[in-house]
Chain A
């Protein structure tokens, strides 16, 4: 039979398990993005303040997470934290922790850049109206900065979703990990199963990531006109 390999996807509970794996990946990405974007906004705002000490500390934080490969970061939180500091959470929460800190670092730089590129006269007009620092940020800078940072943020989101494929390194049952289990379990009955399983995973990631990428493209195009 020419396409017998595809049946591997529908045997037993295989398809449901792959979907469960995808849910784990997406869930971790969404929760990490939510926490990371919130933290990142605060850090980004702090980095536009005049205090040199705060700026320096946050710069160290940003560079640390930007330089560190994500795999190393995952290993650090999964193996080193529990061993040295007795912090022991389930692997999914450890993944959320690592990803949130990473997203916060990357996003703080996006926010800083966006805030700084809001035209100077906007800030000055705000101050002239008698707004305080917080009001200036909330009503003048933030609304305009959000417009500027959206495409970069969506790009960051697609990167986070893609990077969840590294979670199998720390024993999280993500879609890739489940896929490998299925491939190995069915190797003798479905020798071509590997093609179909990875093929499906490819389509799943595409379905999740492509709309985001289209949206970013659309926003960028709108800005140029």
Chain B
């Protein structure tokens, strides 16, 4: 006989509702912005601590990944090391996935995000972006045998995206006729494409060029859809101190052509001759 224990069910429901109300209530009281007096990520706080905590990807060659000696390398990581050096501190890396980049800042786990973070109006509401250091747009990769070259071919088909990326955002808001298959990490999304879970995969085109170079059975059929977008360092909302410093730093690094050098050492081996530095690096000296 099945006996429903209403007492337990109600108790559980009350507990959950209580906890949710508590959390929701407290988030109204304390929005995630920086209070100048207790800013644990200000330039002076970072210098005092002696470490710059940087949120980076750990599984996205050539931007942020770990080589076989266990060392973090990549285009974003090089920038992170340089910024830490110019601050006179050591870098400390915090590995993130695409969809916890905002929360990592808001919960004070990192001072700055250098994880291929594309600037969007929605994200501007929750974090502060510094000057951009790279440009990208959304591309679509598909098997060569069944290449997708126009967005209209995707109507009613499945497309793979990573949660929290600009590709997900673009397809959700602008292409409602396309079914999305969403994953948590880059590793998972590319595996899903290889296992034929969907007709195509959408992500920032710069990753796709790199991936296609190693997976010659696939092609970036749509090189660019949606508007051109920029990649910037991000800091917690209201962290003026680190934001101003980062802006000055990017201007300085642009002047000495740091990003072209970074491109040549980190990205070029992955992209091959299909892509030129000027496709990725900004020339805003």
Contact = CB atoms under 8 A, between A and B. Distances in A.
Interface string A159-175: 00000000001010100
Interface in A175-217: 177, 180-188, 191, 194
Q: Which of A17, A64, A66, A83 has the most CB of B within 10 A?
A: A83
A56 interface: yes
A12 interface: yes
B68 A64 contact: no
B141 to A, nearest CB: 15
A183 B187 contact: yes
| A contacts with B: majority SS | helix
A63 B97 CA distance: 30
Interface in A30-73: 56, 59-61, 63-64, 66-68
Interface stretch (B42-50, B103-111, B130-138, B174-182): B103-111
B118 to A, nearest CB: 20
B106 A177 contact: no
A185 B65 contact: yes
Interface stretch (B9-17, B198-206, B244-252): B9-17
Given A12-B70, A13-B68, A186-B68, A63 B59 contact: no
Interface in B14-54: 14-16, 19, 23, 26-27, 30, 32
A98 to B, nearest CB: 14
Contact of A180 (B23, B30, B59, B68): B59
Contacts of A184: 59-61, 65, 186-187
Nearest to B213: A188
A182 B203 CA distance: 21
A203 B108 CA distance: 36
A171 B95 contact: yes
B214 interface: yes
B143 interface: no
Give the size category of B's interface with A.
Answer: 35 or more
A11 B69 CA distance: 8
Given A59-B8, A67-B16, A177-B58, A78 B69 contact: no
A88 B108 contact: yes
A81 B27 CA distance: 11
Give the size category of A's interface with B.
Answer: 35 or more
B96 interface: yes
B273 interface: no
A221 B99 CA distance: 47
Contacts of A27: none
Interface string B186-197: 110001000000
Contacts of B16: 64, 67-68
B185 interface: yes
Given A12-B69, A13-B70, A187 B15 contact: no
B27 to A, nearest CB: 7
A83 B65 contact: no
A83 B12 contact: no
Contact of B27 (A76, A82, A84, A183): A84
Contacts of A186: 68
Given A63-B11, A185-B61, A185-B65, 11 more contacts: A13-B70, A59-B8, A60-B12, A60-B14, A64-B12, A64-B15, A82-B108, A84-B27, A171-B100, A171-B109, A186-B68
Q: Which 9 A/B pairs are nearest by Cβ-Cβ distance? A: A12-B68, A63-B12, A188-B214, A184-B59, A82-B107, A181-B66, A64-B15, A60-B15, A83-B107
